[in-house]
A and B are shown apart, each in its own frame.
Chain A
């Protein structure tokens, strides 16, 4: 299916798509939080979609607008992609887990939890994956600063033409 067809199909089949966008040949569909698992299950089971290879699941920190969780799926048989996105509020981001739908998202969700602080309810093993156990804070949030850069300005920050001699 072409990107526009995928968007149209998802809108009518699940009734959950808030909006969709096609850019650079790729389609993004935004769904509300409570329809997250329903849409994912549809993507897996529907014969026309047939999405079976989870590519990634991650989040983007959109400062005032909260977090945006992005799930990218690929279908080996139909050879098409889809991005499914959802918005989360900043203060207590929470989303149901998709590790029951595709196995590969188990680790992706663990990583997103530890780096962003988004709680995936129902996840079988939500413990730290990449960071040491005693690490505090959620590193990929925009308010987590890289202290080495804060302590001292890196000398190469300016282009050579801009440096005043």
Chain B
């Protein structure tokens, strides 16, 4: 409500039991727009995103995200690196679910070279990708609660994440940037005890997910702050190139694991949770249910994992994909991550473009934040899932 819309004389609610008498002189009070710059450093887990707002009172007129504070030039650096080195560099972009990025690079190179990874490698890759999805979504479950003022979900999320990171460390040796994927397969086979611990963790996390449901999803305050806020219609989302959980929450069930299954996704059974209204609550809800579906896939991988080698028998000493181009997309945790690879027969790519979901998710922020009240800005921005490394590459 602009200042001009206030009643010219009357009582506004003041403190308990009191009112404030307002008399406004003149018909129209001139107001000025205020420019507020949020970021790039702020005490939330968003990372270095800067949003420049113009405010009319408390209502946002325009919102301009300013990105580039984490631009580390992946495209140029990958032209100077061998394909094996690019895998190690690519996982530093969506750093919450690093394996998904590595997978895309390996799949793109394999497609150009005509190599197919062995069965066991594909199942294990799927297992790792799904555990990474759980890692990523847990982080956002925690941080969204933190931004709305609830500290406990953050600690719960990190408790779960620590367990999963211990699991990943057993197999890959790293807590965050795994570098486990190789062109043709994997670095090494799973260690003894991995699958048992993985099964234990699935049960544990499934049990602990109920905590989040109790704390947040049924919470009156949470619902009041997120239902109906930041509505994104499906058509608008598609035209911005938004993919992943945000698109699903807007009602469009586009998931490359279902439409163009890669790895072994056609042999496992899972659902794609879809929201109705496209508001912040739906986005959070979709994220919550995706974790459950990922745990379902992991259980099926446990049951169906075959024995066998994890690298094809004869790999060339130097990886030199023949001349050509290809685009490979995977359904990463935040949306569609794709690699457009142009090769000229060298050990280094001629051009490697990384298509990231967060770039497009952030590009629709000007649309989403128009007309939103400033306190709701937090609820909306927190529900747009992005990782700044993914936005800027």
Question: Which A residues form the contact surface with B (CB < 8 A)?
Answer: 23-24, 26, 28, 52-56, 58, 60-61, 70, 72, 76, 79, 81, 83, 102-107, 115, 128-132, 139-140, 144, 146, 149
C-alpha gap A52/B235 in the complex (Å)? 8
B3 at the interface (CB under 8 A from A): no
Interface secondary structure of B, over-half rule: mixed
Q: Is B324 an interface residue (CB 8 A)?
A: yes
4 closest A-B pairs by beta carbon, nearest first, are A104-B241, A130-B68, A130-B71, A104-B240
- Binary contact track B29-59/A, C-beta < 8 Å → 1, others 0: 0000000000000000000000000000000
Residue B219 interfacial (CB < 8 Å): no
Let me know if B381 is at the binding interface, CB within 8 A: no
| Count of chain B residues near A, Cβ 8 A | 41
List, in ascending order, chain B residues with CB within 8 A of A24's CB: 111-112, 324, 326
In the complex, chain A residues whose CB is within 8 Å of the CB of B243: 53
Identify 18 residue pairs between A and B in the complex whose beta-carbon atoms are under 8 Å apart, listed by A's number.
A23-B325, A23-B326, A24-B326, A52-B235, A55-B336, A55-B355, A56-B353, A76-B254, A83-B327, A102-B241, A103-B240, A104-B239, A104-B364, A128-B68, A130-B67, A140-B75, A140-B76, A146-B76
Question: In the complex, are the beta carbons of A55 and B338 less than 8 A apart?
Answer: yes
A131 touches B68 (CB 8 A): yes
- Asked if residues A72 and B340 are in contact (CB atoms below 8 Å), the reply is yes
What residue of chain A has the Cβ atom nearest to residue B236's Cβ? Answer: A103
**In the complex, B206 has a CB within 8 A of chain A:** no
- B interface residues (Cβ-Cβ under 8 A, vs A): 67-68, 71, 73, 75-77, 80, 111-112, 235-236, 238-243, 252, 254, 259-260, 324-327, 329, 336, 338, 340, 342, 350-351, 353, 355, 359-360, 363-364, 367, 392
A contact patch SS: mixed
Q: Cβ of A61: which chain B residues have Cβ within 8 Å of it?
A: 351
Apart from A79-B260, A115-B75, what are 12 other A-B pairs with CB-CB below 8 Å? A23-B326, A24-B326, A53-B238, A53-B239, A55-B329, A61-B351, A70-B340, A79-B259, A104-B241, A129-B68, A130-B71, A140-B76
